[in-house]
Amino acid sequence: MDDEVIEISDNSENSSISEMDVEMTGEQPAVDANVAAAEEIVPKDAATIAEEKKKLGNDQYKAQNYQNALKLYTDAISLCPDSAAYYGNRAACYMMLLNFNRALTDARHAIRIDPGFEKAYVRVAKCCLALGDIIGTEQAVKMVNELNSQSTAVAGEQTAVQKLRQLEATIQTNYDTKAYRNVVFYLDSALKLAPACLKYRLLKAECLAFLGRCDEALDIAVGVMKLDTTSADAIYVRGLCLYYTDNLEKGILHFERALTLDPDHYKSKQMRSKCKQLKEMKENGNMLFKSGRYREAHVIYTDALKIDEHNKDINSKLLYNRALVNTRIGNLREAVADCNRVLELNSQYLKALLLRARCYNDLEKFEESVADYETALQLEKTPEIKRLLREAKFALKKSKRKDYYKILGIGRNATDDEIKKAYRKKALVHHPDRHANSSAEERKEEELKFKEVGEAYAILSDARKKTRYDSGQDIEEQEQADFDPNQMFRSFFQFNGGGRNNSFNFEF
């Protein structure tokens, strides 16, 4: 690893190094003037200069000037490379700078020089724990106990490494069951014990990506890549973030880069395949839609949705596309259902909101249509959305009036002759005389329908009123209040050849 320091929170139990952790020289006796003069004449040897460098380093260490101390310890090592104490002191300095990899290297080198150097084993245990190396920690703890059975220097590390083993088992169980929120929770506990463990950090980043928290995941991945540009796991996580933000092409490139560094990287193989499959199906579905092959596009989009339930960004777009297809093949209710799912994934998806509003309008669910357009206007205040909202409100207002065309059973483009024929048919069906022998409740119901049929004909047979009605204007309440359905019936059959002497015989 390079010289960059891993930034982690301080953990006094694991990383704090006291002043006595560096190897101090004893108090030196006073030197008289003759000896000092002799020293100026006789050149100092390398060992003497190295010791002076170490003493100066210790002073800087105690003053917490760790970078200065680091340089002085390095100078001492270059002058006297076989001193275990110098490597031990530099290891302690690296630990204070939270550079546990460099500290571990120095502590192990000190042990190679002096296999009985207890403090070096303590430092190895602390560094291994911080890096998440459970086996390395356990081995170092064992050596400290063998060298000094009464030592308590690694008691904290011994307890911590046991907790770490338990946490790793719990993390793996939750990961296998895709309980990613739980994995993140337990990884945070593990990182308190092993703050410099890149494996834990990257596993957390992976789970954050699965949970849709790609910005957080990307920050972790990029941070690790700055420390180790050859980390296949970090590049894989970055590719995962690109994949989950619908940047499939760049995602594929990252998975391929990870496989170049580690040809056996299973997760990258799996994600590269999934990424390519989604990209191909998405493009095919879009091509089929544009060429008007809607049912084939529907099948493709449906199959693509099965590939990865965690990819909310891509799935929301696939669902929106399928909703569009459903509108083209007349499946308006299915289109609404797809839009509902889109908005569950992303409540700010404006296109899905507008499409659902349109579908509601076509389904004559005018209140729902107005509500969607109002929400859309809050997201984006455009003239087009304002116009659509006005039209939806107008349609809602019209829907609350009686539908005279529906009452007569005719279309809105019916001719005058068709309107007359429809009235004649409906009036005969609902005329009170025809239901004289029915129950009181049935007679009342038929009378109401007879009146509505008359109202409908009175409006639609009058050019002025029909124009006002078709344009959505209200018909004057006074005109409706004064309306007499029986008079309408008699007038109609009188002027339309309904029978002799203004009477009509029903055909039962």
Task: Give a yes or no: residue 284 inside a domain.
Answer: no
Task: Give a yes or no: residue 113 inside a domain.
Answer: yes
Residue 355's contacts (CB-CB under 8 Å, 6 or more residues apart) are 320, 323, 324, 327, 335, 339
On whether both 332 and 414 belong to a single domain, the answer is no
The reported pTM is: 0.70
Torsion of CA 460, 465, 467, 472, to 10 degrees: -100
Please give the average per-residue pLDDT across 399-417, as a whole number.
Answer: 87
Q: Which tokens is 280 given?
A: 């191909």
Which of 51-65, 250-264, 395-409 has the least mean pLDDT? 395-409
On whether both 147 and 186 belong to a single domain, the answer is no
Instruction: Tell whether the model's pLDDT for residue 277 goes beyond 90.
Output: yes
Do residues 69 and 97 lie in contact, with contact meaning Cβ atoms separated by under 8 Å? Answer: no
Is residue 459 very low, low, confident or very high in pLDDT (cuts 50, 70, 90)? confident
C-alpha to C-alpha distance for 289 and 286, rounded to whole angstroms:
5
Of 45 and 294, more confident: 294
Task: Give a yes or no: residue 18 inside a domain.
Answer: no
pLDDT at 19: 38
C-alpha to C-alpha distance for 390 and 388, rounded to whole angstroms:
5
Q: Concatenated DSSP letters for 99-122? A: -HHHHHHHHHHHHHH-TT-HHHHH
Which of 31-35, 143-147, 274-278 has the least mean pLDDT? 31-35
- Segment 302-315, tens digit of pLDDT: 999 999 988 999 99
On whether both 100 and 118 belong to a single domain, the answer is yes
CATH number where 372 lies: 1.25.40.10
On whether both 446 and 394 belong to a single domain, the answer is no
On whether both 468 and 419 belong to a single domain, the answer is yes
Please give the average per-residue pLDDT across 317-339, as a whole number.
Answer: 96
Task: Give a yes or no: residue 243 inside a domain.
Answer: yes
On whether both 370 and 312 belong to a single domain, the answer is yes
Q: Which of 344, 373, 400 corresponds to the end of one domain? A: 400
Do residues 493 and 486 lie in contact, with contact meaning Cβ atoms separated by under 8 Å? Answer: no
Amino acid at 420: K
- Segment 59-110, tens digit of pLDDT: 999 999 999 999 999 999 999 999 999 999 999 999 999 999 999 999 999 9
Q: Which of 113, 134, 164 corresponds to the end of one domain? A: 164
pLDDT at 42: 53
Instruction: Tell whether the model's pLDDT for residue 481 goes beyond 60.
Output: no
C-alpha to C-alpha distance for 427 and 422, rounded to whole angstroms:
8
On whether both 377 and 412 belong to a single domain, the answer is no
pLDDT at 385: 95
Do residues 157 and 129 lie in contact, with contact meaning Cβ atoms separated by under 8 Å? Answer: yes
On whether both 204 and 271 belong to a single domain, the answer is yes
Task: Give a yes or no: residue 223 inside a domain.
Answer: yes
On whether both 116 and 83 belong to a single domain, the answer is yes
Q: Which of 371, 400, 429 corresponds to the end of one domain? A: 400
- Domain, as residue range, for 448: 404-493
Is residue 291 very low, low, confident or very high in pLDDT (cuts 50, 70, 90)? very high
CATH number where 489 lies: 1.10.287.110
Chain position carrying tokens 């590719």: 239
pLDDT at 474: 66
Task: Give a yes or no: residue 55 inside a domain.
Answer: yes
Is residue 192 very low, low, confident or very high in pLDDT (cuts 50, 70, 90)? very high
pLDDT at 13: 40
C-alpha to C-alpha distance for 213 and 223, rounded to whole angstroms:
16
On whether both 244 and 321 belong to a single domain, the answer is no
Task: Give a yes or no: residue 20 inside a domain.
Answer: no
Instruction: Tell whether the model's pLDDT for residue 32 goes beyond 70.
Output: no
Torsion of CA 295, 299, 300, 305, to 10 degrees: 130
Instruction: Tell whether the model's pLDDT for residue 214 goes beyond 60.
Output: yes
Please give the average per-residue pLDDT across 269-285, as a whole number.
Answer: 95
On whether both 414 and 396 belong to a single domain, the answer is no
Residue 198's contacts (CB-CB under 8 Å, 6 or more residues apart) are 132, 224, 227, 228, 231, 233, 234
C-alpha to C-alpha distance for 358 and 378, rounded to whole angstroms:
17
Q: Of 294, 336, 295, which Cα lies nearest the Cα of 319?
A: 336
On whether both 297 and 380 belong to a single domain, the answer is yes
3-state secondary structure of 381: coil
Task: Give a yes or no: residue 33 inside a domain.
Answer: no
pLDDT at 449: 86
Q: Report residue 496 CA to chain centroid gap.
A: 70
C-alpha to C-alpha distance for 103 and 89, rounded to whole angstroms:
9
pLDDT at 504: 38
Q: Residue 210 — φ and ψ, nearest 5°?
A: -60, -30
Instruction: Tell whether the model's pLDDT for residue 501 goes beyond 50.
Output: no
Q: How many domains does the chain have?
A: 4
pLDDT at 494: 65
Instruction: Tell whether the model's pLDDT for residue 284 goes beyond 70.
Output: yes
pLDDT at 271: 96
